[in-house]
Amino acid sequence: NFMLTQPHSVSESPGKTVTISCTGSSGSIASNYVQWFQQRPGSAPTTVIYEDNQRFSGVPDRFSGSIDSSSNSASLTISGLKTEDEADYYCQSYDSINWVFGGGTKLTVL
Amino acid sequence: EVQLVQSGGEVKKPGESLKISCKGSGYSFNTNWIGWVRQMPGKGLEWMGIIYPGDSDTRYSPSFQGQVTISADKSITTAYLQWSSLKASDTAIYYCAVETSSRIFYWGQGTLVTVSS
């Protein structure tokens, strides 16, 4: 079964840049699109990035997504960190047509 | 505007049955996969299964196969998640989400299910 692995937590200071990784367990992560979701405490998830690197409507261009085939990983990069970016972030891809979620990464902006 | 509106929170006893709903609007309900995702207290997102309302093709995560039933009623653009016999370990927030053709996901607001004796 295909799995996605994320770091449990990351932290960075306001104004800095942080990158959250999402590593595929097998096959090529580039074979299926990767999406990224943001979940603030007490709220439902929302789409941040879709189709590897497309920003969802209204998402600031401080957010970007990429794929690195050499490490079989996807990444979400947030630049110019703001305290409002503090949230849980989940990557998502597919095993056939079934949805696969990463375990989530808690981003702390301190 | 794509919207998914879920039914309200539920408090149930172990062994009871339950069916929660997710009404979609603002998109083509029949031609987009809609799925259910569990989030246990303090934990991450777990994919439970998906349904294609157009032909009711349904896929389940092995972890949830046989434990829940996913269905949809095209006539009222509503998807359902149901249990025949709840357990305390089913206590969680359940989200529905629709995957559009461009892999944009839209999420419902979540339904809190509490199972306690």
Under an 8 A CB cutoff, do A104 and B37 touch?
no
Mean pLDDT over A50-73 rounds to 96
According to the 3-state scheme, what is the secondary structure of chain A? Answer: CCCEECCCEEEECCCCCEEEEEEECCCCHHHCCCEEEEECCCCCCEEEEECCCEECCCCCCCEEEEEEHHHCEEEEEECCCCHHHCEEEEEEEEECCEEEECCCEEEEEC
Closest CA to A18 of A68, A83, A69: A83
- Per-residue confidence (pLDDT) for residue A6, from 0 to 100: 98
pLDDT value, residue A28: 87
**How confident is residue A87, by pLDDT bands cut at 50, 70 and 90?**
very high
| Confidence at A1, pLDDT banded by 50, 70, 90 | confident
- Report pLDDT for A84: 96
Residues of A in contact with B109 (CB under 8 A): 44
Asked if B32 has any chain A CB less than 8 Å from its own CB, the reply is no
Mean pLDDT of A76-96: 97
Segments in chain B below pLDDT 50: none
Selecting from B61, B104, B109 the residue whose C-beta is nearest the C-beta of A50 gives B104
Residue A91 has pLDDT above 90, yes or no: yes
